[in-house]
Structure 1
Amino acid sequence: MPLSINGNYVLPEASCRDCEQITGRNEALIMRGGFRAVREYLQLRSRTKKRPQELPLFNVNRIEGNKVMVPVDDYPVMWMIPRFDLPGALRPPGYVSTGNPPPWSTAINLDHDKLAKHGIKNFTTIQIDVFAFVRMIAKIGHALAVSRYGLHHFVPFLRHIILHEAGPEAFEFIGGRAETPHDTEELHGLTLRTLRVGDRVLLVAEIRLFATLGAPIHLAVVGEVRS
């Protein structure tokens, strides 16, 4: 779990310097993009000692390129998390996919009176890079499996997705669950389980970022358990 969303676990010597730079750049696309506002609102951990006093809103009042800096206390946290269909590797015979569901979204601290003080009537919601998010989910799932079982307990499926540009083929191993998750007081939820699919036993990570805010569950098919 990235430190910047209050990840508490450290996996010693988890990657070489080159791989660390790759995953760090990818996670920065999420943490400094779609997750930036909610991180500041919740005052989550950061490697930057000086926290921002303002955050930008874009295309304000339907003016293309119009950026307005808003104090963090007044900033509306309008954000979305992608939702995905069941991973291809877990779909039973005859499964008919209807595509990925609409993203989960929520609004926090949306106060029109506060925005009016800054002359703001409307603005564009910041989007999340979907495949950067997919790669981050893959990394969290892989790291969880290694921390529990070590490197030699399973045949890994996700290393290529983590370290290279991901495309639609990643949905063979990365996906989600359709049901509405239960309420919880935990900021994030992580579960690792085994699942028999045909003649294989697969390791599947259930990852729920920002669970306490009602966010959805994502699945990472981490690998196949070695016999």
Structure 2
Amino acid sequence: MIENTNFPADIGREESDRVFIPIIHYPTVLVLPMLFPASVYSSRSSDTDGLYRLRMHNINASKRNLEQYEIGTLSTQAIDTVRFCQMIAKIGVTYAASKFDPRTFSPDLMQLITADMPNGTAQASHYNRVGCIWDSQDSATSDLHQLELGTIDWLGQSMLAVKVRLFACYEMPSYFVALN
């Protein structure tokens, strides 16, 4: 149970200005990355950057509430795409392991989910097996999250894959994890 009724919001950029806002008015904006298709199921080169835009959903940041606390702008949070892709891959592998022997999964995928990648390390291999699919049509749903096993066909080969869709009810994108 949440006992505090007010939480600090950092509304500054380089220098923080803190205000205390009742939790009911705390501005919540969901931001998830949209990724290029993973290199194993697209013509994108391996180990190249895979982020191409962000998808946002305003959960409760109303202009009236922001004005009440004299908040004129919000900063987006930093998105650590390495850890994000690791998380998506871990979710996909965990779900798939309930149906298939994980020893059949790609060694580089297993390396991705177990690797310790220090912050600030230049890294792009996390986009090789995790990505979105162009023009993927996700249907509206009341489900918070969705997981689905399937295949991706690319260059005459069929790959086992898991579709991971977080915050589906907020129209967030689906991520596809190529398993083998």
Displacement, 1:174?
Answer: 0.9
Give the structure 1 partner of residue 139 of structure 2.
182
Give the structure 2 partner of residue 216 of structure 1.
173
Q: Which has the higher contact order (CA 8 A, sep 6+)?
A: 2
Residue 34 of structure 2: SS of its match in structure 1? coil
Tell me how far apart the structure 2 counterparts of residues 115 and 63 of structure 1 sit (CA, whole Å): 20
Residue 102 of structure 1: SS of its match in structure 2? strand
Tell me how far apart the structure 2 counterparts of residues 118 and 65 of structure 1 sit (CA, whole Å): 15
Residue 102 of structure 2: SS of its match in structure 1? coil
Higher strand share: 2
Displacement, 1:212?
Answer: 0.5
TM-score (norm 1): 0.65
Displacement, 1:133?
Answer: 0.8
Contact 2:165 2:175 in 1 (8 A): yes
Give the structure 2 partner of residue 132 of structure 1.
83
- CA RMSD, 1 decimal: 2.8
Tell me how far apart the structure 2 counterparts of residues 103 and 134 of structure 1 sit (CA, whole Å): 14
Residues 64-83 of structure 1, C-alpha deviation per residue, up to 9 Å, x if partnerless? 32233322100111231011
Displacement, 1:51?
Answer: 6.2
Contact 1:58 1:67 in 2 (8 A): yes
Residue 101 of structure 1: SS of its match in structure 2? strand
Give the structure 1 partner of residue 164 of structure 2.
207
* Among 158, 163, 168, the residue aligned to 2:124: 168
Contact 1:80 1:127 in 2 (8 A): no
Kindly indicate whether residue 5 of structure 2 is the aligned counterpart of residue 53 of structure 1. Answer: yes
Equivalent residues, number = 172
Change (3 A) 1:178 1:194: closer
Deviates more, 1:208-217 or 1:156-165: 156-165
Change (3 A) 1:98 1:77: same
The code of the aligned residue for 2:19 comes to V
Displacement, 1:58?
Answer: 2.2
Kindly indicate whether residue 68 of structure 2 is the aligned counterpart of residue 117 of structure 1. Answer: yes
Contact 1:57 1:124 in 2 (8 A): no
The unaligned stretches of length 5 or more in structure 1 are: 1-48
Displacement, 1:154?
Answer: 4.0
The code of the aligned residue for 1:176 comes to C
Displacement, 1:113?
Answer: 2.2
Percent identity between the two aligned chains: 24
Give the structure 2 partner of residue 26 of structure 1.
none
Give the structure 2 partner of residue 14 of structure 1.
none
Contact 1:88 1:173 in 2 (8 A): yes
Give the structure 2 partner of residue 9 of structure 1.
none
Contact 1:83 1:101 in 2 (8 A): yes
Higher helix share: 1
TM-score (norm 2): 0.80
Equivalent residues in 2 for 1:133-148 (5 A)?
Answer: 133-148=84-99
Contact 1:139 1:158 in 2 (8 A): no
Displacement, 1:189?
Answer: 1.1
The unaligned stretches of length 5 or more in structure 2 are: none
